[in-house]
Structures are given as structure tokens and as C-alpha cells.
A and B are shown apart, each in its own frame.
Chain A
Amino acid sequence: MVEVGGYTGRYLEVDLTSGKFQVKETPRAWMRNYVGGTGFAARYLWDHLSPGIDPLGPENVIVFATGPVTGTLGHATGRLAIASKAPLTGIWGESHVGGQLAPEIKYAGYDFIAITGRAEKPVYLWIDDDHVELRDASHLWGRGTRETFKLIWEDIGDESIQSAVIGPAGERLVRFANVIVDFYDAAGRTGMGAVMGSKKLKAIAVRGSKGIKVARFEEFWEVIQRIYEKATTGEWREIANDTIRGYGTPYLIDVMHSIGRLPTKNHWTGLFPEAEKINGDALKAVRISHKSCFTCFLQCKFVHHVDSGKYACTLTGGPEYEALVALGSNVMVSDLGAIIHANELCNDYGMDVISAGKVISWLMECYEKGLITEGDVGGIKPVWGDADLVIDLIHKMAKREGIGDLLAEGALRAARKIGKGTERYVIHVKGLEASAQDGRSHKSIGLAHAVNVRGADHLRGLCTYDELPWAVKYAYERFGEEEAKKMVIDDRLNPTGKGYLTWLTENFYSIVDSMITCKYGAMWPMIYYYDDFAPWLKALTGIEELGDERKLALAGERIYMLRRAFNAREGVGRKEDTLNPRFTEEPMPEGPGKGQVVELEVMLKEYYEYRGLDWETGWPKRHKLVQLGLEDVAEELASMGRLAE
């Protein structure tokens, strides 16, 4: 029997300035306290970053973290967490991605890789088991992501290696540049690609041949067969077939339109009259293949090819739901070919589709409202539904050409530069442009956007039980009637109990992001919960604490709180836990959420109680940090006056 399974027990530190690297031992206490992935990244960045540093400076650190389940048998074990101080927001930054790279990092023998410094000239990091080398990347610099993958294969002479690469957007420090894995899978949000660009790090390429051991062999077989069957047979399989497995995330277009939560016209409304032109069925017509991330039991990826018309010869993975909104409904574009092409460009430039699209929708609304003129934006005329303009602006942002140079700074920075009241229409939280949800038609997501540690985004705390009428029953099954009633799970428009619900959800997703498996399976469909993950982690790792549901939930709370503390250390607290007045003051104009606004304060108050935050300042309370075993974090915050006693 292996003492600890799942983990490799080592991590790699690389300093690009000196070109030196070091292999260190993963602390045993981190495994039971922070699990892996996001948890490891949060602990590492808390320990290694000083507040106030420039995210694009050499002193910033970027972490590529795997978790105990990465590369093993189980649902979606190919997820990778990339974390750093974010260039777009100046706070905690993280983005997760599927594909096939994370397992390769584990097979090479590392739980995570932490990279700091700045190379003098473009390099890429080549990891071949124990061999670590910085290789010249001058021939890759300026290339699109797709070409870069192929050139690295050619360079090393092995098509079985996996890479994470940036495109021209990352090189040019577009603040929402992303990192691409396996051709089309994007660690999209918060600008992790710009951090790599600032370090002159074009890519990480990995080949691993070491095995990962399991602690309790027989027990693992038993648990993992249960995990597998749960997703691939019976009711969950049928649900998956009709949604995520049959259509990928684009199935959400119809679903969100039906509950009036499909962001349209810069989040002005939740209905898009032309939704059926960009929905799952529309995409299916141009689908060429079905793809998957590593050992996924749900299989939600598709590759699309446009073979005729203006955008003929477009070939790309996705667009996902978020891209269909950001580059479609939210800018009033319903030409599917144009959206697929815009998505392809963003992938190839290495640029977040959400932020890119939301910068454009902000510009369009400001133009419509007469806040800006053509003279303010380099002579362009940003009107709703102009697909050519969307595509043109994507080129300009990625290349920082003309007005693109300003827009590449993100919507909030651009608005502050332009002034003229344009900031009012930047739909963001903490500087991160909002993803495709609307709290007016689904109250809990309003709160989840406002308190999310990385900004306005669904992936840290979106609850799906209260989202759809027919999903409610699963909350009753899982939490029991008393708890479900406490969260008023039956009514997505009722803010009561949603603070508790969001707290619960965030803690759970912290574990999902740390072990690491996919939100699809945990968030939607809600197949797995702590009672699945605890036995899985215990059999795999042999660590008792990870097999204890209560302790696992507490670890989730610890991981979430540590990231909240990271933001507090940067001076971000209560006043940043807010939403655009669009959601809190402008009633939803139509649809099932008509007349609704987000009652943020009442939900926030409840949430602060559970999270252990001070109502006036938003700083973490000492007793909560102590309860979570984060005494050292409390001390540091206290010394800065950012701890609530």
C-alpha cells in the first residue's frame, strides 16, 4: 500500500530571470488543508506575493496547479488551475481549463509549477520528466495559438506532448489575454495569458512518463465504478444526453432564454428574439466532430466548421455558451458564422471571448446613448448587431491597433480613460466583465457575481438547483426539506436564503476546483457532491481528512476564505462587492424576470454572516480565520488593519 496516493509529492519552481529551477516537496499539511489545484495556488500565492505588486511585473508569480485526481481514473481528471495576481483586476486571478495538459504535468512528476521572474527574450518551458529547460521561443513569438502547438511538436519531435500556449494577445499584454490548451480549450478569464506574456513565456510544453499511485487499490476500484456509473447510466445519462453531452454548453441558449436570463444588448434584457439562430440545434448543423477533455464522463466539446458563405473555412472548437452570448446576443449578432469566426479569432489570438465581447457591447451602448462619438473611438461606428465591426475590433484589440490599444486594457480602464459617464455602462464586478448571467431573473447569481473572488463570473458560486423549476427536486433530495426551504430553493426570484446558498455553493466549488474535477458533473448536471468526492479522495489518497465530508467542506471554506483574504490584502473588500446599477436599479424590462431587480443588500448581509466578514469593511473576521486554521493569515491582515476583530 502506498502511503499517499494521487499526489506526486513534488512541485517545480522556475525563475525566468535567472533561468534557474528547483524541485521541492509538496507539504503534507497542504494536501489535507488545501487539497490541490486552486487551494495549492491560493496558499502558494499568499505566501509568495507581496500586496501591491504589478501583476505584469517580474515579481508576479503564475501557478499551474493540478489536484490529487488529475491524471487518474475518474470524472474529468484533466482540469488545470492557472492562478496569479490578475492583470485585468489587480486582485486574485484564476482560470481553469480542461484539455489534456494537467495529467501530463502529473505524469512528469509535479503537483504544480510556480513561475516567477521575466526572461530576457521569448522562451518556452520544456519539461520532460525530470529534465527542465528554457528553450528559445523567438520563432514562436507572434504566432497564433494553433500554429504554436504544431511548431512545438515539430521542435521537440513528439506529437504526444501537451502544451499551454499564449497567442499574440498575451504577448502584447492585452489585459484579458488567455492561455490555450489542446488547441481550443481556454483558461479564459482574468488575463493569465498577459502574465505569461509579461514574463516572455510563450508556452509550457510537457512530457511525462511517471505513473500516479493509488493508496487503497481495491477500495478505489469499487468507488470509481460507482462514480462512473452515476454519470453514464440512468437518469443522469439521459439528462446529459439532452443537454451537455448532446449539445455542449450551447444548449444553455434555449434554457436561459426560457427563464429570461440570456444577456442581450449589454445585459439590458434577458431575452434575445433571435436565440434560435444561435442555439444548440443551430450549431449542430455545422458540427464536424465530438471532442472530450481527459477522462471526461460527460463529453461536452464539439468542433465546428463553417463551409460556405462569408466566413467559410472557419474551423474551431466551440463556441461555448459564453461566446455565443458575448459575441452574439449581447452585441445583437445572430449570424452564427460570424460568431464562430469571432470565436476562432479569439482562440487563435489567445483572448478571452467573454471580456472581448463585453468590451464591445459596452462600446455599443455608449455610442447608442450618445456618450461617445466616432471621434472618441478612432472613427468607427459601434452599432448593435454589426458583426463585421465585432470581428474588426477583435483584430484591433489583439494587435493593440488604433482604438484596440485602449480597449485591450479592459472595459473599466477604457471607460475611466474616456470618461463622459461611460463607466456607468461597464457591466463588471471588481474590473472583470460579467459573464452571461443576470441576477434579476435568478437572484442567487446576482449575489454570486458580486462576491466572487475573481470578479463578475459564475464559476465560483453559481447555484443551479434554484435555476430551473425542474432542478429544484434535486436540492430536496440532496439537502433535505428543511435545508431546501431555508434556501427558498423553489423560488429563484426570492432573495431569502440565497446568501446561505451561495456560501454553501462557493465552498463546494472550491473543492471541485482543488481536487480538480469539472463543474460539469458538479454544477450541472449536479451528479456529484461531497458524498461522492470524499470516498473517492480517500481511496485515492489514503488521507483520512479528505475522506471526511465535514472536513472536506471545511477545507472548501478555508480555500475560499484564503482567496478572499488575498483580495483584502490588496485592499479590496465590501465596497467592491457590488453590481452595476443595471442589475440593482433597472428592472428587467421583459420576460419571466420582468420588473425584477437584484436585492443585493439583503443577500449580501446573509452571505457576510456565513462567510465571516465584517459588514462595514468586508474584511475577514478573526474568529472565522482561526476556526479555519488560518491564524497566520489573520496576523498578516491584522498588521495591515484589514482584519475585523
Chain B
Amino acid sequence: MTSVRMMLVADYERCTGCRACEVVCSFWHEREFNPRRSRITVIRDPERGVNFPVFCVQCEDAPCVASCPTGALQKDKETGLVNLNYDLCIGCKTCVAVCPFGGVTVDPVSNKVVKCDLCGGDPQCVKFCPEEVLKYVPVTVANLMKRKKALERIPKLLEMALPRVV
């Protein structure tokens, strides 16, 4: 049985940098509040108020999977998740080096490599995002959201398009 795959997406422009996602992520995975152990990190520019949540985007053809020397990282074709098997992981950090997004990081306490596992299909960061920046939605919805957002940037076009689109 197949269904449309789910996807964790971020509406970057709305992020205020409150870091609730980091706190809940560390709490869920490590049972302690410690943003430095979080699988998601908000890159903040406090001077201008610009914020980017960075996390593993579960690549289809993931460099981390391709470069993992022990096969600890595997792509699950059904769920779309890039899985990390700690029984096989040797902590070489190649995945950290090759990830183009900084989606894989090193836990400063355990020194293990960590990455987003989508909390087994119920991402906690989404539940505690007060600005609704983070969303866990079907790929189709993610596509639509992105395109609607693009329309908003062109108010005039939106005005003309709205009666037809909505």
C-alpha cells in the first residue's frame, strides 16, 4: 500500500528564531533540554532578525548515504526517511562533512552523529512551533504551499490570479 509521502518543510520567512523546535527536539530525543543536542538548529541573525531553521531534508539521492563507509545510513524508499543505524555507525563523521545543508551534526555530549528522524513520523518540533513555520505535510501540500507563497510576493499578480486560483 502506498500513499503520498510526508515531508517536513519550513516557511523560512516566518521564523522568528524562538528556538522552541531545538528545545523540544533535544527533550524528545535525549530526555533533557539542550539545544546543542538538537537535530534542528535555527541559524539566527539577531541584528536583522533573520532566522533559518536547518535540519535534514531526507535527500532522495543522499550524499551521506552514498559516502557512509559502513552502510549505517540508508534511504527508506517507502517513508522517505534517511535512517541512521547506530549499530553500524562508527562515528567517522563523513556524513557531517558531505551534507550540503548541515543536516547531520555531532552531539557535543555523546559525540555521536545525529540527524532528524522525523520522530518516527510525528515530528515534535512541528507541534511546538508557535509561528507555524515548521509543517509536516504530504508532498502535494508542500508543493502547493510553496507556490502560493511565491504568488504572495507578487501582490498584483495575486490580485488577478486569486479569483481563479481560490
Interface residues of A (CB under 8 A from B): 71-73, 77, 100, 103, 107, 146, 149, 160, 182-184, 208-214, 217, 225, 228, 231-232, 288-299, 301-303, 315, 317
Is the CB–CB distance between B130 and A294 below 8 Å? Answer: no
Is the CB–CB distance between A292 and B128 below 8 Å? Answer: no
Distance in angstroms between the alpha carbons of A160 and B35 in the assembled complex: 11
Is the CB–CB distance between A211 and B48 below 8 Å? Answer: no
Confirm or deny: B109 has a beta carbon within 8 angstroms of a beta carbon on chain A: yes
Which of chain B's residues 17-44 have a Cβ closer than 8 Å to chain A? 17-20, 23-24, 26-27, 30-37
Closest chain B CB from A469 CB (angstroms): 29
Confirm or deny: B120 has a beta carbon within 8 angstroms of a beta carbon on chain A: no
> In the complex, how many residues of chain B place their beta carbon closer than 8 angstroms to a beta carbon of chain A?
29
Closest chain B CB from A283 CB (angstroms): 14
A73-B24, A73-B128, A290-B14 known; 8 new pairs, CB 8 Å cut-off, are A73-B20, A100-B19, A107-B36, A212-B33, A228-B127, A290-B49, A296-B16, A297-B130
- In the complex, which of the residues B27, B32, B130, B131 contacts A231, with contact meaning CB atoms closer than 8 Å? B130
Closest chain B CB from A448 CB (angstroms): 30
Is the CB–CB distance between B24 and A217 below 8 Å? Answer: no
Is the CB–CB distance between A228 and B128 below 8 Å? Answer: yes
Closest chain B CB from A490 CB (angstroms): 33
> For residue B109, which residues in chain A have a CB less than 8 angstroms away from its CB?
209-211
> For residue B35, which residues in chain A have a CB less than 8 angstroms away from its CB?
103, 107
Confirm or deny: B46 has a beta carbon within 8 angstroms of a beta carbon on chain A: yes
> For residue B49, which residues in chain A have a CB less than 8 angstroms away from its CB?
288-291, 301-303, 317
Is the CB–CB distance between B130 and A296 below 8 Å? Answer: yes
Confirm or deny: B68 has a beta carbon within 8 angstroms of a beta carbon on chain A: no
Is the CB–CB distance between A288 and B48 below 8 Å? Answer: yes
Interface of chain A: mostly helix, strand, loop or mixed = loop
Is the CB–CB distance between A209 and B16 below 8 Å? Answer: no
Closest chain B CB from A207 CB (angstroms): 9
> For residue A288, which residues in chain B have a CB less than 8 angstroms away from its CB?
48-49
Closest chain B CB from A558 CB (angstroms): 27
Is the CB–CB distance between B19 and A211 below 8 Å? Answer: no
Confirm or deny: B50 has a beta carbon within 8 angstroms of a beta carbon on chain A: yes
**With A72-B33, A73-B33, A211-B37 in contact, do A301 and B16 touch (Cβ < 8 Å)?**
yes
Which one of A211, A225, A315 has the greatest number of beta carbons of chain B within 10 Å? A211
Residue of B nearest to A298 (CB): B130
Confirm or deny: B163 has a beta carbon within 8 angstroms of a beta carbon on chain A: no
- In the complex, which of the residues A182, A184, A211 contacts B33, with contact meaning CB atoms closer than 8 Å? A211
Is the CB–CB distance between B16 and A291 below 8 Å? Answer: yes
> For residue B87, which residues in chain A have a CB less than 8 angstroms away from its CB?
none
Identify 6 residue pairs between A and B in the complex whose beta-carbon atoms are under 8 Å apart, listed by A's number: A211-B37, A228-B130, A292-B18, A301-B49, A302-B49, A317-B49
> For residue B20, which residues in chain A have a CB less than 8 angstroms away from its CB?
73, 295-297
Closest chain A CB from B52 CB (angstroms): 12
Residue of A nearest to B16 (CB): A292
> For residue B32, which residues in chain A have a CB less than 8 angstroms away from its CB?
211-214
Q: Which 5 A-B pairs have the closest CB atoms?
A: A211-B32, A289-B49, A211-B34, A292-B16, A292-B18
Distance in angstroms between the alpha carbons of A295 and B18 in the assembled complex: 5
Confirm or deny: B47 has a beta carbon within 8 angstroms of a beta carbon on chain A: yes
Confirm or deny: B155 has a beta carbon within 8 angstroms of a beta carbon on chain A: no
Closest chain A CB from B36 CB (angstroms): 5
> For residue B36, which residues in chain A have a CB less than 8 angstroms away from its CB?
107, 160, 208-209
> For residue A297, which residues in chain B have a CB less than 8 angstroms away from its CB?
20, 130
**With A72-B23, A294-B19 in contact, do A289 and B128 touch (Cβ < 8 Å)?**
no
Is the CB–CB distance between B23 and A73 below 8 Å? Answer: yes
> For residue B47, which residues in chain A have a CB less than 8 angstroms away from its CB?
146, 183, 315
Closest chain B CB from A288 CB (angstroms): 7
Is the CB–CB distance between B26 and A211 below 8 Å? Answer: yes
Residue of B nearest to A287 (CB): B49
Distance in angstroms between the alpha carbons of A228 and B18 in the assembled complex: 14
Which of chain B's residues 33-72 have a Cβ closer than 8 Å to chain A? 33-37, 46-50
Residue of A nearest to B47 (CB): A183
> For residue B24, which residues in chain A have a CB less than 8 angstroms away from its CB?
73
Distance in angstroms between the alpha carbons of A233 and B24 in the assembled complex: 19
Distance in angstroms between the alpha carbons of A293 and B17 in the assembled complex: 8
Closest chain B CB from A102 CB (angstroms): 12
Which one of B27, B33, B47 has the greatest number of beta carbons of chain A within 10 Å? B33
Distance in angstroms between the alpha carbons of A296 and B19 in the assembled complex: 9
**With A73-B24, A73-B27, A290-B16 in contact, do A107 and B34 touch (Cβ < 8 Å)?**
yes
Distance in angstroms between the alpha carbons of A317 and B47 in the assembled complex: 8
Distance in angstroms between the alpha carbons of A217 and B27 in the assembled complex: 10
> For residue A73, which residues in chain B have a CB less than 8 angstroms away from its CB?
20, 23-24, 27, 33, 128
- In the complex, which of the residues A77, A183, A212, A289 contacts B50, with contact meaning CB atoms closer than 8 Å? A289
- In the complex, which of the residues B14, B16, B48 contacts A315, with contact meaning CB atoms closer than 8 Å? B48
> For residue A77, which residues in chain B have a CB less than 8 angstroms away from its CB?
23
Is the CB–CB distance between A182 and B46 below 8 Å? Answer: yes
Is the CB–CB distance between B18 and A293 below 8 Å? Answer: yes
Is the CB–CB distance between A209 and B17 below 8 Å? Answer: no
Is the CB–CB distance between B34 and A209 below 8 Å? Answer: yes
Is the CB–CB distance between A299 and B16 below 8 Å? Answer: yes
Residue of B nearest to A293 (CB): B18
Distance in angstroms between the alpha carbons of A244 and B54 in the assembled complex: 27
> For residue B46, which residues in chain A have a CB less than 8 angstroms away from its CB?
100, 149, 182-184, 291
Closest chain A CB from B67 CB (angstroms): 26
Residue of B nearest to A212 (CB): B33
Distance in angstroms between the alpha carbons of A303 and B27 in the assembled complex: 30
Distance in angstroms between the alpha carbons of A293 and B23 in the assembled complex: 13
Residue of A nearest to B34 (CB): A211
Residue of A nearest to B36 (CB): A209
Closest chain A CB from B127 CB (angstroms): 8
> For residue A302, which residues in chain B have a CB less than 8 angstroms away from its CB?
49
